Structure 1
């Protein structure tokens, strides 16, 4: 399940891509398959091992071009171990809402991004996320949980402060908003039949991508999309 639209964030042979806060690596895998040289960075050692294994599996299966490269490294976004301008593409997906020093992280993103390079940042959209917070404290008051809810203008302002000029936005994952509202209403850790059924539907959609469901989500994203996606370019 990709939040970034790679039609609006093109990557390919010769591109140097940093996926900061890569988590399970979904965007790093996509960039690698597109032929880019990818660095997936996170602080979760378990997640990084999974990403390394998946990179190896993709290479072995021939799902990534032989000219591409991919590594997973442990790195703190507040002080990245890369030289200035090391990358011409940076992905920061569903990460900033977890970090107190978000301005510091964005300054580091700008530092390691080459002039003219592209960055994409995604965060939970304000109003669907606020409903989750109102329905459940457990949803966000956990170790490593969400510490803030961004308004669109706030995120755009943070990017501009870091020398990154926003060039486009959209919303994604409309069908996931009701699922998380339901989860929060019954309790995030509750074993509820309706949650299980909805989850099965989402997995089916991810695996099969049926056209009617994809069209429905595309139509609902401007209103109901759970994620805000912002594309920006370094001046």
Structure 2
């Protein structure tokens, strides 16, 4: 069980091992999603999670936005701190940016480096670091991505100060943390190691991420939330003993995937998804900028 739990913290089933940028699963899904496979032929997990993320504003190949409001261009140098095995960094690389990968896990960094180099990045730099301090000069990067990282660090204020130091004036920040509600639910169902170092050592209450950014000297440009689908996915996951983070899926998870696929195919699917994302999101999202 312990090894399964450890894998959890570096996994994101909706975005790791992303398909190519021209994958049909990234088609415009602003209209209700048509699920091609019948119930007897479940949609693959990557399709369900990826379509759900796209409907939440992620992975916009047409605009080069990692999420709406966070565009990446070939002129950018992007730092992905806590990058894991590089799922999101691969999207950023396909926009032609220079990518700096940073994580405490050397094995994950190597996987991320290979993935990003194959995705068309202008250049790739891989750093094994805890960001205390970051081995980068001042004002070096134009984009900073820190997704599902701050809940792991001992001193979020010091961590943010270091990210701000290496960011150039005008740089954009994309910060996400697990939502307070789903984390509180996890206190009742997840194994104790979930909330033990080096895993989640704090729960960010709603509004605390924004205050952390303001205290670091950033200006806030957008806040949002997403991921009801993943909130339920991970909550069910703990009940599925011996379930790995790849198929074949336990029937419980498979049934949830089919249910969500069916919902997204219905005329009111998008409206219901948006309401549930607001009520019980997996993550809080903040886009901020370092002043000029």
Q: CA-to-partner distance for each residue in 1:107-132, whole Å, 9 max, x for gaps?
A: 00111111111101100000111011
| 1:179 and 2:230 matched | no
Q: CA-to-partner distance for each residue in 1:74-108, whole Å, 9 max, x for gaps?
A: 12222011111100110000011011111111000
Which sections of structure 1, spanning at least 5 residues, go unmatched?
Answer: 59-63
2:228, 2:281 within 8 Å by CA — same for their partners in 1? yes
| 1:212 and 2:265 matched | yes
TM-score with structure 1 length normalisation? Answer: 0.83
1:132, 1:180 within 8 Å by CA — same for their partners in 2? no
> Which has the larger displacement, 120-129 or 75-84?
75-84
Q: How many residues align?
A: 222
Give the CA deviation at 1:139: 5.3
State the SS of the aligned residue for 1:169. Answer: strand
- Between the aligned partners of 2:199 and 2:97, the Cα distance in structure 1 is 31
| 1:169 and 2:220 matched | no
State the SS of the aligned residue for 1:175. Answer: helix
| 1:17 and 2:78 matched | yes
1:78, 1:101 within 8 Å by CA — same for their partners in 2? no
1:171, 1:222 within 8 Å by CA — same for their partners in 2? yes
Which residue, 219, 228, 231 being the options, matches 2:284?
228
Distance 1:144 1:202, change over 3 A: farther
Distance 1:7 1:148, change over 3 A: same
Give the CA deviation at 1:174: 1.0
> Which has the larger displacement, 3-12 or 151-160?
3-12
Which residue, 96, 99, 113 being the options, matches 2:150?
96
TM-score with structure 2 length normalisation? Answer: 0.68
Alignment of 1:24-35 (within 5 A): 24-35=85-96
Match of 2:6 in 1: none
- Between the aligned partners of 1:117 and 1:160, the Cα distance in structure 2 is 15
Give the CA deviation at 1:138: 2.6
State the SS of the aligned residue for 1:14. Answer: coil
- Between the aligned partners of 1:144 and 1:204, the Cα distance in structure 2 is 33
Alignment of 1:98-137 (within 5 A): 98-137=152-191
- Between the aligned partners of 1:204 and 1:10, the Cα distance in structure 2 is 32
- Between the aligned partners of 2:126 and 2:273, the Cα distance in structure 1 is 32
Match of 2:97 in 1: 36
Alignment of 1:134-153 (within 5 A): 134-138=188-192, 140-153=194-207
- Between the aligned partners of 1:196 and 1:130, the Cα distance in structure 2 is 25
Q: Please provide the CA RMSD for this pair.
A: 2.8
